[in-house]
Structure 1
């Protein structure tokens, strides 16, 4: 089967134990990881290396936490340099990244191109009635709901996070457009490709750190059989324009420990 999970946050002891317990159902299972494995390079490598030894193939797309640089971070890498270093380490382990050729899943429910995406966000998921990025950010600060990215996610060498997002959008769109038009895709991105899933957020102003309006039609344009994402820490299945969207996050211990059942691998293909 093609399975998925995201937001492992292995800096938490409870989440690290969950990763230690994860096992595939068969030797042929692939695992898609939609970002936020951890923050330090050591944690990220530990988790991905643990999982790639168990699953036939592991495919990773970065979240925002992988890109954080704290003052006490031993690597001191920022922005694109940190992302590139994680990609280099993944490739050495055999973990597929957004910088690798997209693999084709040929197991049950296939064939389908697996496309791990790295797109970031550009502050276009704004509160209703707010028309500018400046006004959206001002409202967030006024409400006291500001993403930690504002302090720890550095866009170097780009001038802003939204500029980095624009560059990633252009490069990724070109790659997706070049795919075999006869094959469906499984799009794996840390953030939802459409705005609708963010409507459920307790603090709507936080949505500006949750994606970009520029991907609103990608699930249709690029023939998505399934769109996999995380970030919201609200695991569920929804449908948009007839396409299945799977939010597959584990989340923080304080969140998942309140749920009726512990986090589990989500089946992506074949369709459950």
Structure 2
């Protein structure tokens, strides 16, 4: 969240707020944006025209509406490149995906959320692949988030629980804070986290943290896929694979 005390250029703030709106709705017109923010259409048009000229937005010639442009992707790639772990982990993520036949994700803790840096699909997958770079998710209802949070210190965990409402995404989401504390304890004891359709119905995952040389949580990897693929045997087998590949990544950090 922005610190309003640090915002000095209000016009720039509004331009970025408009740009951020495209993460909620991918295609927008001048009228929609004007009504959403309660500002003049002429102001919106000027901001959109500038963002278009800078290639942060593209405009559909037929409808006149706007969508995100190539420069946003360029920035996202630059963000990923700032995390050295992405380059280290990428070949291991691909091997892990090929062996498990499932999607594999890499993420880091960002403030109190999960920030995804990379994803891999099996090499011969026919699925439509999409970049997940820059997407964020809640910690408490994702395997990758729970794996990281469970291995942080108790003060961090208690601060998180004190400032976050555990809202239900599905009927499997853990919304009771004491139950969630017990879940984190189970994760620490067995060494990996499981998302049992807690964020998205029909999707399960198994995840494990990556530690830096000081044994602080640096990132995490998850194996994710359709729930019926995640039998107890597969989960146990994939946890062993995760540990093996994470050990290789940690040795290179």
- TM-score normalised by length of structure 1: 0.27
Query: Which has the greater radius of gyration?
Result: 2
Structure having the larger proportion of residues in helix: 2
- TM-score normalised by length of structure 2: 0.28
Q: Which has the higher contact order (CA 8 A, sep 6+)?
A: 1
